């Protein structure tokens, strides 16, 4: 892997990187690029778990997923392509269509993604889970960590790693890696409601609507 020089991350108490593996939930390539390189530098064996039925429309989902696959393949990291079960996501989001970002709809959305990650980890002998979700400054890290801990608590022997990926220059490197890799640059969080609300905000500012599949870093 051709990452920058960096200090290995402090691992959670009790996690033995010589014997145990991490399952990393990934939301997209720009958020997971820095997280993946940081994990690699810490000598932890891991796989990427892509489970994001929130992403709408399917074209946006496919682009985000393919970008993540491209980066994982480049670095020989196993990539688990989980279900795109949008019906389940919409069923759980019912009644929350007009909730603001960082509100209860997002808690449901994080819970859903972590629940599936924790289940897969439990069934495939991973002892720790984490996610790239928290590296974005647009997200509430405490909200995400609460969801991660809640999901892991269902299985004995499974830990949620609540490391703050923004620390030690992580936020800056996230941008640098995205530019270096020329990742697709999504312009809204992911669900149809965030697309609607972001477009409304842009309209109020006199900006054009989001065009799917157009914007790339670099
Ligand atoms: S705004 Fe983002 S986190 Fe919240 S429900 Fe939509 S996709 Fe999920």
Closest CA to 183 of 48, 69, 67: 67
Mean pLDDT of 160-166: 95
Report whether pLDDT(181) > 90. Answer: yes
CATH number for 21-204: choose from 3.40.50.620, 3.40.50.1100, 1.20.1340.10, 3.40.190.10. Answer: 3.40.50.620
Please tell me if the CB atom of residue 189 comes closer than 6 angstroms to any atom of ligand 1.
yes
119 CB-near residues (< 8 Å, 6+ apart): none
Say which residue the tokens 């389940």 belong to. Answer: 88
pLDDT in the model for residue 140: 95
For the segment 38-90, what is each residue's pLDDT rounded down to a tens digit? 999 999 999 999 999 999 999 999 999 999 999 999 999 999 999 999 999 99
Q: State mean pLDDT over 136-158.
A: 96
Q: Do 136 and 171 form a contact (C-beta atoms < 8 A)? A: no
- Residue owning tokens 């220059």: 169
Parse the chain into domains and list their residue ranges. Answer: 21-204
Residue 101 Cβ < 6 Å to ligand 1: yes
Q: Is residue 8 over pLDDT 90?
A: no
Q: How confident is the model at residue 7 (pLDDT cuts 50, 70, 90)?
A: confident
Nearest of 161, 150, 217, 155 to residue 186 by alpha carbon = 217
Q: Is the pTM of this model over 0.75?
A: yes
Please indicate if the annotation marks 189 as binding a ligand. no
Is residue 3 over pLDDT 90?
A: no
Compute the distance between CA of residue 114 and CA of residue 214 in angstroms, rounded to an integer: 29
Closest C-alpha among 112, 109, 133, 164 to residue 31: 133
Question: Is residue 4's pLDDT more than 70?
Answer: no
Question: What is the Cα–Cα distance from 31 to 174, expressed in whole angstroms?
Answer: 7
pLDDT at 6: 75
Alpha-helical regions (H) of the chain: 29-41, 58-74, 86-93, 104-123, 141-152, 170-181, 192-204
Query: Is 191 touching ligand 1 by the criterion CB < 6 Å?
Result: yes
């Amino acid at each position: 892997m051709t990452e920058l020089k960096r200090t290995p991350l402090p691992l959670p108490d009790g996690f033995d990187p010589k014997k145990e593996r991490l399952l990393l939930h990934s939301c997209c390539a720009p958020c997971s690029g820095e997280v993946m390189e940081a994990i690699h530098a810490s000598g932890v064996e891991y796989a990427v778990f892509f489970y994001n039925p929130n992403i709408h429309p399917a074209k946006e989902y496919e682009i985000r997923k393919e970008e993540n696959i491209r980066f994982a393949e480049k670095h020989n990291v196993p990539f688990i392509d989980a279900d795109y079960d949008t019906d389940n996501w919409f069923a759980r989001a019912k009644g929350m269509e007009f909730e603001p970002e960082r509100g209860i709809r997002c808690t449901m959305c994080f819970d859903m993604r972590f629940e599936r990650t924790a289940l897969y980890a439990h069934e495939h002998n991973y002892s720790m889970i984490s996610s790239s979700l928290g590296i974005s400054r647009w997200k509430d890290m405490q909200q995400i960590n609460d969801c991660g801990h809640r999901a892991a608590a269902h299985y004995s022997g499974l830990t949620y790693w609540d490391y703050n990926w923004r620390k030690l220059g992580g936020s800056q490197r996230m941008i640098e890696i995205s530019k270096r890799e020329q990742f697709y640059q999504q312009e809204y969080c992911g669900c149809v409601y965030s697309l609607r609300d972001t477009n409304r905000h842009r309209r109020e500012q006199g900006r054009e609507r989001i065009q799917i599949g157009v914007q790339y870093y670099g």
